[in-house]
Structure 1
Amino acid sequence: MSELPKGWVETTLGNVAKWSSGGTPSRKNTAYYNGDVPWIKTGDLGVRYLEEASENISNEGLKNSSAKLFPKNSVAIAMYGATIGKTSILNIEAATNQACGVAIPNASLSSIFLYYLLKNEKEGFIARGKGGAQPNISQTIIKEYPIWLPPLNEQIRITNKLDSILAKVDKAQARLNKIPAILKRFRQSVLAAATSGELTKEWREVEGLSKDTWQPVSIDDLSNRAFDGPFGSKLKTADYTDNGIKVARLENIGHLVFNSAKETFISEVKYQDLIKNTIEHNDVLFSSFVDEEIRTCLFDERFGTYINKADCFCIRPNKEMVSPEYLMYSLACKHTYEKIKKQVHGATRPRVNLRYLKSFEISLPSSEEQSAVVEKINQLFHKADKVEKQYLDAKARLDRLTQSILAKAFRGELVPQDPNDEPAEQLLDRILKERLSQQQKADKLKKTTKKRAIKAKVADKG
């Protein structure tokens, strides 16, 4: 650990701010919600200045719960689960739930400085999280958390420098964040061109063929078999085991990718009852639930032995008629999505049934052209994948850059120290003495009030 910079003092978060947390009004009372009081939850945190809450409570809900109203410029930090360490400055007067720790900084530091400091310490808070799968940090952990505090004037220099540097990082991040959407549109445009015949137009000209060779054919006619997974009593939650034969569930079926990381098992004995649901190499899996895009993918035997679960349709292509990859790409294209979305429009959980999927028609070219289509798609997708990797690498570098800049700031290396600055120790000492004096006055007033109440009670009895 580097040496404490001159003029700085080692202290705790509890000494530089008044810390508290909020609460949740009873959900059973509808009058407690949809009022005028912004109610912050951990999912709202992360932006520098929080301007609005995702949910509001009423004044009645505020009074009848442990929720509290915090002043503008308070600093909130997430204390629970995967959001631990997410931080925002409240740019509004707002209440929070109990998962948010909230600081009202004293005169030893500013809200923006505390915001940056908490961001810098995010990994430290995560490391102190307790509770297993969903670790939490408590008010006690936060208050006892050690920090290095610079002089007030140096804090101003640090925050000004951070504002300037990180604004440039944020602009770069904003430009990078556009890339996933651009890549998604590119891939969809490739699929649209491929399944309409546009992508292989030149290929047909060279081969002396026309688009007339493309014919609409149903999935049922293209497949040797299309089947849903077992449902109801045939496969219950109680049938799942810690190991054995794997089950392909909705969470495994992505858009053009099989997500093998999430595993669910059944026993060998149960598998024998459901063996007809075994998924084979190059089967096309299709999620019956249709939301923002079609989720369909190829199954690879390298994943191991799997059966499919209900709502995970399995199409076994007739390879003499259709390439499994071509079928997958045809089902994944935007045209297919738009047609199916119309079919399920208005459903609470939009999905299609197997009968509809089997009747669905795709445009089918010759086997030779299917191979040409798949080859061109894969070539273009390979280029998109390379761009995506470059994007992910650049994003990771930017994330590391932000953290390295913050770390440098809070080691005292970002701006020079000024010997004319009042040392932070003197400032903090004054503040703590003032806090102690105020607390003693409050305690004395409380005792006096209590004595008067007792005397009044005795007088009434007399």
Structure 2
Amino acid sequence: MKKTKNIPNTWEWVTIKDIAITSSGGTPDRNNASYFKGDIPWVKSGELNYNTIVQTDEYITQEALDSSSAKVFTKGSLLIALYGNTVGRMAFLGIDAATNQAIASIKPFRINPKYLYYYLINSKEELLNKREGSAQPNISQKVLNDFSFPLAPIEEQNRIVERIEELFSELDKITAELNEAKTKANLLLRALLNNSFSNVNTYFDIRKLEDLCENITDGSHFSPETTLEGFPYITVKDVKNDRIDFENCKKISEESFLKLKISGCSPKFNDLLFSKDGTVGKVVINDYKSDFVVLSSLAILTPNQNKILPQYLFYYLKSDLFLNQALNSKRGVAIKRIVLRDLKKLKIKIPTNLNTQLDIVTKIEEGFSNINTLIEEIASKIHSNDNLIKKILKDAFQGNLSSRLNTDTSVKILLDEINTEKTEYLVQQHEINKSRPKFKKVESESLVHIIKKNFMSKSFSFHELVDKAITTNSEFEKEFDLLMSENILSKMYDEKSKSIKFRLK
């Protein structure tokens, strides 16, 4: 194979198919519920996350195995997701298990499996760049088989893996210490916030929230049709890190916006937004100088600035002193939402003097600035560790992480041993397959029928659809690409799951 990158002269560029056998799984007929009441572990691509799989979400029967293209892969097998949102993710099997067709098993011969694993992690971007398919690019088995692989002597592979894991272990300890420091810094932020209000003990009053605001309302109770361009339509998920994410929020038409603005769903400058539904307790001050509207899960608070500073109210709403009120009902049961009438009755501990409020805000912001600087420094060090991991892997597969010994097995001898072992394995598998019961192929449902049956009026991810299909990889991919090219499916980015999803038009 032509050398594409620098490697030591004792190594050789080969392909995955030269050193391993790849095989994909299958899905038993979903219409037969009894197939999924067995004791054979069955892995789906969503379960692959650079882990060792010792249990699965679903188990199938021997009959399901015999009646489908699913097959059991042995403990220690390296699995890789071929397509969908998890494409390129890997895991080792810690048990014998079958898989669905979105997963390929890689069985190497006389290769250190972790050497292969770390190499594929190092080469993930290069591998993903070779994806095929117009609608949902995927890694085919052909792409995987033809992917280049730097074959080093087995003894050197072992030394490389040992050194990688030694360095990673040291980095893991450092990263754990940094994350612990980051956690403590965040706890300091909360302590600073809570102490700032706990110490308000002179010249203060306790007032209901509704007494301190000119108006408290909420957003729209119906969802208008969204458009590609238009006015921002803000929901709870758009409130992030005390800011509103206008860049990625939904948009609505001018007509819809004007209707909602008239009904009071449009915050004014310096109004506060408080999430009262879903993730209760997100707070932001509106410093956006253009118009937008909000969903009913957000309350709109207009502070009476003769009584309370918007910044004081902002920090108080973020404190545990307030959130503990908001998140507990009168019976002390934790709740996931708070209705507007209850929100209005919640109490605020407040200095009657606005200058005292300003002093408290100033001290909070000074403390926050110092602690946030520390958190940013910690985050930067964690990011540096991530970059160091990439450098370690890059060095490893250029031969810069290990020594070479004259006693190492030559790559030529190693390749001969691999070919011998592969041949013996294929002969054994041929004999096993001859004695395996011939399954009657279940006639495949069309993807449109599967979508209507399982996802009617709902969005779905690629691997969720794969999980419902029974067809082979190639048949599935062809039909899916056809649905996309004929504009039968729409494609969108789902902010909640941070992934691509599809919907039947």
1:371: how far off?
Answer: 0.8
1:195: how far off?
Answer: 2.1
Letter in 1 for 2:178: L
Are 1:59 and 2:61 counterparts?
Answer: yes
Are 1:106 and 2:109 counterparts?
Answer: yes
Aligned residue for 2:328, secondary structure, equals helix
Deviations 1:116-168 (A, max 9, x none): 11211122223234567964322222222111110111111111111211111
1:180: how far off?
Answer: 3.8
- Structure 2 vs 1, CA of residues 369 and 387 (structure 1 numbering), >3 Å: closer, same or farther? same
- Comparing 23-32 with 350-359, greater Cα deviation is found at 23-32
1:185 matched residue in structure 2: 187
Q: Is the contact made by 1:78 and 1:84 (CA closer than 8 Å) also made in structure 2?
A: yes
Distance 2:211 2:14 in 1: 74
Alignment map for 1:423-462 (pairs within 5 Å): 423-436=410-423, 439=426
1:327 matched residue in structure 2: 313
Aligned residue for 1:80, secondary structure, equals coil
Deviations 1:80-126 (A, max 9, x none): 3453333333233333344433222212x022212211211122223
1:456 matched residue in structure 2: none
1:387: how far off?
Answer: 1.5
Alignment map for 1:50-129 (pairs within 5 Å): 50=52, 52-53=54-55, 55-59=57-61, 63=65, 66-107=69-110, 109-129=111-131
Aligned residue for 1:83, secondary structure, equals coil
1:185: how far off?
Answer: 1.6
2:374 counterpart (373, 387, 396) = 387
1:316 matched residue in structure 2: 302
What residue ranges of structure 1 are gaps of 5+ in the alignment? 199-210, 450-462
Q: What's the TM-score once normalised by structure 1's chain length?
A: 0.83
Are 1:17 and 2:27 counterparts?
Answer: no
Deviations 1:340-393 (A, max 9, x none): 222299999821111111121111113112111111111111112112211221
Deviations 1:160-181 (A, max 9, x none): 1112111111111222222443
1:409: how far off?
Answer: 0.8
Letter in 1 for 2:209: I
| Identity across matched positions, percent | 28
Q: Is the contact made by 2:231 and 2:291 (CA closer than 8 Å) also made in structure 1?
A: yes
1:184: how far off?
Answer: 2.7
Deviations 1:276-315 (A, max 9, x none): 3222222111112254x6211111125x321112212111
Alignment map for 1:11-410 (pairs within 5 Å): 11-24=14-27, 31=34, 36-47=39-50, 50=52, 52-53=54-55, 55-59=57-61, 63=65, 66-107=69-110, 109-130=111-132, 135-197=137-199, 211-232=201-222, 235-236=223-224, 239-254=225-240, 256-276=242-262, 277-291=265-279, 294-302=281-289, 304-343=290-329, 350-366=336-352, 367-410=354-397
Is the helix fraction higher in 1 or 2? 1
1:414 matched residue in structure 2: 401
- Structure 2 vs 1, CA of residues 377 and 39 (structure 1 numbering), >3 Å: closer, same or farther? farther
Letter in 1 for 2:220: P
- Structure 2 vs 1, CA of residues 312 and 65 (structure 1 numbering), >3 Å: closer, same or farther? farther
- Comparing 390-399 with 10-19, greater Cα deviation is found at 10-19
1:19: how far off?
Answer: 1.7
Distance 1:54 1:371 in 2: 56
Aligned residue for 1:89, secondary structure, equals strand
1:7: how far off?
Answer: 2.2
- Structure 2 vs 1, CA of residues 352 and 128 (structure 1 numbering), >3 Å: closer, same or farther? farther
Deviations 1:18-76 (A, max 9, x none): 222334556666655576444444444344x5153462424358525554332221112
- Comparing 158-167 with 349-358, greater Cα deviation is found at 349-358
2:446 matched residue in structure 1: none
Distance 1:299 1:286 in 2: 11
Distance 1:152 1:415 in 2: 12
- Structure 2 vs 1, CA of residues 339 and 106 (structure 1 numbering), >3 Å: closer, same or farther? same
Q: What's the TM-score once normalised by structure 2's chain length?
A: 0.76
